[in-house]
Structure 1
Amino acid sequence: MTVRRDLDLLGKRGLLERTHGGAVAAGPLATLVFDEDEPPFEQRMRRQAVQKSSIAEAAAKLVASGESVGLDVGTSILALAGALASRRDLRVFTNNLRVSMLMADGKSNVYILGGQVRWPEYSVIGPQAVEALKSHFLDKVFIGVSGLDPSGFYDYSPEDTEVKRAFIANAGSVIVLCDSSKFGRRALSRIVPLEKVNILVTDAPPPADLVAALSERGVRIIVAA
């Protein structure tokens, strides 16, 4: 409710325009969109589905044999889990119940973090999940986001964001999966600034200002074919 009141106030001042579920910046920041509400998981699964599949296939190629891998929550991460499900050589750590069920049918070892289940995302959140990650070093972690702009990566949920940061803090390499519909968008929680991420996997080249910001901070961009 506090966010909604703030958006209403900014709208009255002409600094943004309210939209269904969020807001669009006015004036020189007109390309920035703030997402106020988290869309239902099933709706997000249908959105950009082909692009997310391409992103997942490209991201799966980054996983070397025998690696310990962290898989976060989100629809792109679930697509990646599907691309990795036939692998026999991985150790997978996740706070995503959907991912754990999908990959448990495969041959790799799957470890689910403990904590509170956040419905309907079916993510595991809370201090237990965060603390568990401190005991492990992961070769690569794959993070889902709801938005990306020159100031950093964003997510709808503060609770999920805490676990994302714990994944990032205990990883050798941090890889974000982000389809192009999320460029120039923000949400309630900033996960990390750009320089905390090593690789961005997406489906289309980002806008020039975002490419410049990512390059300046050493983020490699992979555009899925």
Structure 2
Amino acid sequence: MQRNDHLENGPGKEAPSDAPSGSERLPAALRQARIMASFEKDGFVSITSLADELGVSGMTVRRDLDLLGKRGLLERTHGGAVATGHLAFDEDEPAFEQRMRRNALEKSSIARAAAKLVSPGESLGLDVGTSVLALANELAPRKDLRVFTNNLRVGMQMAEGNSSVYILGGQVRVPEFSVTGPQAIEGLKSHFLDRVFIGVSGIDENGLYDYSPEDTEVKRAFVSSASSVVVLCDSSKFGRRALSRIVPLEKIAILVTDAAPPPSLAQALREADVQIILAS
């Protein structure tokens, strides 16, 4: 039976334009269950589509998504949400401290496996990123290395050890504390490195990705200056993309990760002749 707004609001009164809809009056738990049902169907939900589907305000949807995100049921993005740990495209760069906490055990394991690749006396390039910083912690006690980096955090970590450390010149990008720009790129062109370790924000069949165009330019310079390119990437980044594509898979020699890549990515890596090292 259709509701009579005139009678419910009293004689001569109109229903207020901002009155909550039937869906908005639903218990929050039921409303969130309907959101999760839509999410599980498509793997992604947008605030706009959910607001239209449920007949609620965008503010209500945002509150529901924030609560579901805090429970670990999904991962909030700008304008919606995606599956936790399976973000297809990263629009915004998470805070460095947040990335340090994310998959910390896996990154430590990857760093230990990567450190075993470094032979005595090698000249190394260490890129920016949390996995590379974990590697610097493993390499810091070594006395026999020459390390070139555009990562101020890595530089300080390595300088506490015994190897020679060279910081590239250029502009500092905060909060990553990476050094970027033409000076950093030119500085790499004048050196030959035995091996470089690159951190990435995502990897798929088309190549490697990073959040920052400025950092990406330096990553490409590292790749061009090295005999061997090693990518450090935990498995949460499989199938994910970010703003900037660094290089195709053919440019890398080794991928050090914590779990086997999904079939399509594994096939692409084999075709690109990339060695996969699984950290225990």
TM-score, normalised with respect to structure 2: 0.71
Quick one: distance in 2 between partners of 1:43 and 1:97? 18
Task: Tell me which residue corresponds to 2:199.
Answer: 144
- Decide which structure has the larger Cα Rg and report it: 2
- 8 A Cα contact 1:24 1:33, kept in partner: no
Task: Tell me which residue corresponds to 1:109.
Answer: 164
By relative contact order (CA 8 Å, sep 6+), the higher-ranking structure is 1
Deviation at 1:148, TM superposition (A): 0.5
Task: Note the 1:1-225 alignment, pairs <5 A.
Answer: 17-18=45-46, 20-21=76-77, 33-225=88-280
- 8 A Cα contact 1:24 1:34, kept in partner: no
TM-score, normalised with respect to structure 1: 0.88
Quick one: distance in 2 between partners of 1:221 and 1:215? 9
Quick one: distance in 1 between partners of 2:45 and 2:228? 38
Quick one: distance in 2 between partners of 1:79 and 1:65? 19
AA of the residue aligned to 1:220: Q
- 8 A Cα contact 1:150 1:210, kept in partner: yes
- The one-character-per-residue Cα deviations of 1:193-219 (angstroms, maximum 9, x if unpaired) are 110000000000010111000000111
For the aligned residues, what is the CA RMSD? Answer: 1.8
AA of the residue aligned to 2:159: A
Quick one: distance in 2 between partners of 1:87 and 1:66? 10
Deviation at 1:132, TM superposition (A): 0.3
- The one-character-per-residue Cα deviations of 1:92-121 (angstroms, maximum 9, x if unpaired) are 000000000011011100000000000000
Unmatched segments (≥5 aa) in structure 2: 1-41, 47-74
Quick one: distance in 1 between partners of 2:145 and 2:45? 47
Deviation at 1:20, TM superposition (A): 2.7
Percent identity, aligned pairs only, is: 71
SS at match of 1:172: strand
Quick one: distance in 2 between partners of 1:17 and 1:212? 30
- 8 A Cα contact 1:148 1:186, kept in partner: yes
Size of the alignment, in residue pairs?
207
Report the structure, 1 or 2, having the larger strand content. 1
- The one-character-per-residue Cα deviations of 1:154-188 (angstroms, maximum 9, x if unpaired) are 00000000000000001000000000000010000
Task: Tell me which residue corresponds to 1:8.
Answer: none
Unmatched segments (≥5 aa) in structure 1: 1-13, 26-30
